[in-house]
């Protein structure tokens, strides 16, 4: 069996549930990383940052946070695109979307379907994760 080359975890949150919903969704996706707190801390902070940045840019009631890990690092994204399908073939990711803006190091993407994605990327380092310029 081939090892997984990429893993993705997602959690939904509702704007009306406030800050606690953002925290719960961020914690849910970060919990999958079995690592010391010093390693997970940047992921938690990234989750909070992308979620808050998204909420400033969308009026959507339901949103989700997505954590993706691959050989280059970890990506944490928040989006108002709540559709999750296993056979999406590229749907459900900001990878191929044009970059709209960079806000405090976060990449803001706007898809042709009107959805907003706010993305943070961290590169693997021996001392933990560091923001990546990818």
| Residue pLDDT, tens place only, 21-56 | 999 999 998 888 887 888 889 999 999 999 999 999
Residue 134 has what pLDDT? 45
pLDDT band (50, 70, 90) for residue 126: low
Number of domains in the chain: 1
Which domain, by its residues, includes 110? Answer: 6-84+93-131
In a domain, 50, yes or no: yes
Longest dimension (CA), the chain: 43
In a domain, 39, yes or no: yes
In a domain, 1, yes or no: no
In a domain, 60, yes or no: yes
Q: Rounded to whole angstroms, how far apart are CA atoms 124 and 77?
A: 17
Cβ atoms of 71 and 109 within 8 Å: the answer is no
Contacts 24+ apart (CB under 8 A), 31-40: 32/7, 32/67, 33/67, 33/69, 33/74, 38/128, 39/128, 39/129
Q: Is 47 helix (H, G, I), strand (E, B) or coil?
A: helix
CATH of the domain at 61: 3.30.565
Q: Which two tokens stand for residue 75?
A: 């990506």
| Mean pLDDT across 67-77 | 88
* pTM as predicted: 0.84
Average model confidence (pLDDT) across the chain: 85
Kindly state the helix (H) or strand (E) to which residue 63 belongs, with its residue range: strand 62-70
In a domain, 16, yes or no: yes
User: Burial of 36 by CB count in 10 Å (0-12 exposed, 13-18 middle, 19+ buried)?
Assistant: exposed
In a domain, 73, yes or no: yes
């Amino acid at each position: 069996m081939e090892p997984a080359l990429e893993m993705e975890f997602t959690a939904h949150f509702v704007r009306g549930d406030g800050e606690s919903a953002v925290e719960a969704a961020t914690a849910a996706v970060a919990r999958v990383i079995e690592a010391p707190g010093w390693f997970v801390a940047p992921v938690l902070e990234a989750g909070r940052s992308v979620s808050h940045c998204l909420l400033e840019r969308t009026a959507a009631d339901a949103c989700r946070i997505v954590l993706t890990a691959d050989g280059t690092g970890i990506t944490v994204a928040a989006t108002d695109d709540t559709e999750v399908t296993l056979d999406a073939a590229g749907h459900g990711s900001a990878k191929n979307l044009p970059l709209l803006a960079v806000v405090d190091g976060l990449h803001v993407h706007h898809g042709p379907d009107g959805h907003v994605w706010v993305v943070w990327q961290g590169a693997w380092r021996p001392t933990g994760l560091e923001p990546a310029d990818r």
